[in-house]
Structure 1
Amino acid sequence: MTDAQWFIDSARKQYNELAGGVERHFESVATQLRDWLPEGFQPPRPPPPPPRTFTPATYWNHVNRWVSRNTALSAGIFAFVGTGAVLVFIQRSTHVKKRRARKSNNGARTEAVVLAGSPTSPLTTAIAMDLERRGFIVYVITSTKEDEEHLRKQSRADVLPFDLDLIHPDKAEGQMQRFHHFLSRHHHAFDGASAHRLTLAGVILVPDFSTVTVGSIAQLSPEAWATALNAKVLHTITVARHMLPLVTEFKSRILLLTPNVVSSLRPPYRAIESTVSSALGAFAASLSSELSLQGLHACHFKLGNIEIAGSKQKRDEIKRARSMPGTSIRKLHEAIFDALHSSNPSRTWHVGRGSLIYDLIGSWMPSGVVSWTMGLQHAPRNEDQQTPESEDSSSDRSITWEKV
């Protein structure tokens, strides 16, 4: 036997003796305790767990039970609350909607708009200023030096005159080619900036109805008819014709703005205005049909009573005090922007107080009922048949746009 084996056996023997001694000691202590405790004694059992109780019904359970008992009333409440929430959300989202033209990465303006209307007209000026504030480059068609001077007095860097000679077709073609080249070439906002190109967002046609002659058909001269048809109808059609190639290439929109109240009711002594408005409406419908074949859009804005702040005369203020106020021109600005940027704009837009209602009245009510409603049952007694409105055919009448 080796020394290692002897050492291991000796250690195991000592461990066994120690374990046996400890076990005998605990058995002796247990025997003494059993002898000391009285007979029949048992240690107390642990207390039983508390009985399982259910918590009272929550508020949500009460609500569920009430809804189950009042199904019809609950459906009405939910419908009312849901509809109100949707309307509030739509109103807030529409109110806070930002209508701004697109810009390049360096912040330069990239969308151009051609505005065809009298530069001195309050409506044309208001539309041009609003489009410029929204980030468009506005080109206003001018024909005289006075029109250009009027635009320069506005002190707007992005409201520019666009000289288009509609009398000489060859000259007009050259001017359109230069404008096309200007839109197509690369532009730099500043030295070192990345190049960008312009795009034509739309062409806005605003015939000026402020100078339309008012009077009976018997007294309207052929010259008055020719002047109105040439200046309002033919001029508008010619501008649209020259712009159509650019509209087709840049996938732009054409917007036509005409007053709608007089043309819908067709009252007496307004034959020229009713005829011009109807002719432009028919032109807008045909133009929209043709452009739709190419996937393009033409929108006809039928305008009612629209107020333009800062351009009212004393006589207009007196008339307005006796009638309902017009719609703020802000509604027109927002509608024009939406028509330029909407993916699928409507063909017809009614903007301004009385535009839609008078359109419905003129379309569905008999002419006799319309005349009776307007109080036009009898012709004037004076032989010249001049109406009080014939004195109000100045340029200020374009501010309210048809107040009947």
Structure 2
Amino acid sequence: MVAEPVLATVEMLNLAYSKVSDFISSLTNATYNTNIYDKVSKFNPFTEDHHFQPTKSLWEKVEDHIVEHRLAYISVLSVGIGLGGYFQYKSKASEPKNGLRRRVRKLPNGARRDAVLLVGSPTEPLTRLMALDLEKRGFIVYLTILDEKDEKYVEANSIMEDLDYLNLSDSYSFDMHLSKFRKLLQMPVVPFVGAEPHTLNLLGIVLAPLLYFPIGPIENITVASWLKVNERLNVYLKLLSSGLVSMAREHKSKLIVVYPNVVRNLTIPYHAPEAVFQSSVHSLFTALSRELYTQNIPVTHIRMGNLNVSSHDKSYDKSKISSLVASEMKGWNEDVKSIYADRFAKAEYRANPIRSTGKGTSLRDFYHTIFDVLYSKNPPKVIYCGTGARTYEWILRFLPQSFLDLVLR
């Protein structure tokens, strides 16, 4: 009685095995009768087909595709990074700074104490605007006088009466001027009768940007123009070598250097004086920041893009560029005109839209940036402010030099 169920079970298993075997055989025959086997056999690593190439890995295929279409990838990546950085900057710029009203902190008796030394020429509009904004926010501002032209301008313009000055034009000894300035900072100040005396606190030293440079072919730029650019760079070198750093160390002041970033990155043709000067300033203060890093003397680079320094629209205007090109070429001799006139005009039509990208960032954002760095406990080493300041720097890092040559040539 027991054996019958066992036999029945074995027969059922044999029947199932037979049906499965028949099904697999039918599928195998169907596969052999199609071209699927031929396609699959090509992936056999042991095939004897000598024309067969080993299959590349997924990473190798991706790498080959990137190399083949590298310009497209670089362009898309550059635009993406630029847009991402721009929107991140705008979002952070719109955030409130912990409720800070951006007004200078005063002493309990209402007296002002925080001072700023602004190194720049009062004849330059942006430097004047920076000085006046810092003064309105409550700083005691000391603006440098670099030459006789600056001295005459200050004497003739009453708008600068509320500012104090550090005159560097009457002597080549910067050590003497800085020594007097240090003694001034150490002198007790009595803001009003009966008030407790205090000394000034040099919160920061701001190096204002130089924006106006001669343009044109390098061989046509005069020696006097090169010397004038070099004199401005020498101002920085003399100050740094005459006690400016030790004064910053003594007062725990912040060093802030402001310079345009677009021409420095792209090295636009016919703008060699500006490219040389801004690159020198960048290299000088980058080296200085690394030297002073362990001494807790912060050096911050504010790399400027396009700022809206006037009320009217400064967008790309062909008539303005045409007028600029014509006035610049008036002083050229005929030989220089015959060689460079056409290329200079074309280069300016390409460069001006880059240097004047739309309306630009408002000056208020620029002022807020400087103020925030002055009162920051740990100021960043680099800050970008202005349209195009960050974008063109990233483009230079990713795009090949040959591409920029085609665009700017």
Conserved 8 A contact 2:256-2:302: yes
Q: 1:208 aligns with which of 207, 210, 213?
A: 210
The percentage of aligned residue pairs carrying the same residue is: 29
Q: Secondary structure at the match of 1:355?
A: coil
Alignment correspondent of 2:192: 190
Determine the C-alpha separation between the residues in 2 that align with 1:166 and 1:146.
Answer: 12
Aligned-pair CA distance for 1:368: 1.8
Aligned match of 1:360:
394
Q: CA deviation at 1:275?
A: 1.4
In the alignment, what sits opposite 2:167? 163
Q: Deviations over 1:309-359 (max 9, x none)?
A: 369999989579995111101111111111111111111111110100011
Who is 2:368 aligned against? 334
Give a deviation string over 1:221-266, Cα, whole Å, max 9, x none. 44433332232x2222223333222101001011111111111111
Structure 1 vs Structure 2 CA RMSD: 3.1
Distance 2:402 2:241 in 1: 39
Change (3 A) 1:229 1:249: same
Flag the structure with larger Rg.
1
Q: CA deviation at 1:143?
A: 3.4
CA displacement 1:114-168 (0-9 Å, x = unmatched): 1111101111001001100111011111134553454463446641121124852
Where does 1:174-253 land on structure 2 (aligned, <5 Å)?
174-210=176-212, 212-231=213-232, 233-242=233-242, 243-253=244-254
> Quick one: distance in 1 between partners of 2:171 and 2:311?
34
TM-score normalized by the length of structure 1: 0.64
Q: Does 1:111 align with 2:145?
A: no
Shift of 1:95: 8.9
- Structure with bigger helix share is 2
- Structure 2 gap segments, 5+ residues each: 1-89, 322-351
Aligned equivalents of 2:91 and 2:265: distance in 1? Answer: 34
Which residue number corresponds to residue 306 of structure 2? 305
Give 1:132's aligned residue. 135
SS at match of 1:113: strand
Identify if the C-alpha distance between structure 1 residues 369 and 287 changes in structure 2 by more than 3 Å, giving closer, same or farther.
same
Unpaired segments of 5 or more residues in structure 1? 1-86, 377-404
- What is the CA–CA distance in structure 2 between the aligned matches of 1:360 and 1:113, rounded to whole Å? 32
Structure 2 match to 1:278: 279
Kept after mapping to 2: 8 A contact 1:207/1:236: no
Q: What is the alpha-carbon distance in structure 1 between the residues aligned to residue 316 and residue 205 of structure 2?
A: 33
Tell me which residue corresponds to 1:122. Answer: 125
Aligned ranges for residues 91-110 of structure 1 at < 5 Å?
91=94, 93-94=96-97, 97-110=100-113
Q: Deviations over 1:85-124 (max 9, x none)?
A: xx99995634953112221111111011111111011110
Map of 2:56 onto structure 1: none
Change (3 A) 1:251 1:88: closer
The 3-state SS of whatever aligns with 1:353 is: coil
Shift of 1:362: 1.9
Task: Find the aligned partners of 1:240 and 1:337 in 2 and give their Cα distance.
Answer: 23
Measured against aligned partners, the alpha-carbon deviations of 1:273-325 in whole angstroms (never above 9, x if no partner) come to 11111111000101111221211111111111111136999998957999511
Cα distance between partner residues in 2 of 1:342 and 1:248: 16
8 Å contact from structure 1 (residues 265, 361) kept in 2: no
2:145 partner amino acid: T
Contact kept? 2:315, 2:358, Cα under 8 Å:
no
Equivalent position SS for 2:270: coil
- Aligned residue for 2:203, secondary structure, equals strand
When normalised by structure 2's length, the TM-score is 0.63
1:67-93 deviation digits (Å, cap 9, x = unpaired): xxxxxxxxxxxxxxxxxxxx9999563
Distance 1:95 1:310 in 2: 30
Match of 1:254 in 2: 255
Q: Secondary structure at the match of 1:218?
A: helix
Distance 1:277 1:146, change over 3 A: closer
Cα 1:162/1:310, change in 2 over 3 Å: farther
| Contact 2:316–2:358 (CA under 8 A) maintained in structure 1 | no
Aligned equivalent of 2:381, options 343, 347, 370: 347
User: Distance in 1 between the 2:158 and 2:241 partners?
Assistant: 29
Q: Could you say what secondary structure the match of 2:219 adopts?
A: coil
Letter in 2 for 1:180: R
In structure 2, C-alpha distance between the alignment counterparts of 1:314 and 1:363, rounded to whole Å = 26
Partner of 1:269: 270
Counterpart-to-counterpart distance in 2, 1:89 and 1:290: 30
How many residue pairs get aligned? The number is 285
Q: Which amino acid aligns with 2:146?
A: S
Distance of aligned partners of 1:91 and 1:274 in 2 relative to their CA distance in 1, 3 Å threshold: closer
Is structure 2 residue 359 aligned with structure 1 residue 325?
yes
Residues 32-55 of structure 1, C-alpha deviation per residue, up to 9 Å, x if partnerless?
xxxxxxxxxxxxxxxxxxxxxxxx
2:218 maps to a residue whose letter is: I
Partner of 1:394: none
Q: Does the 8 A contact of 1:104 with 1:196 survive in 2?
A: no
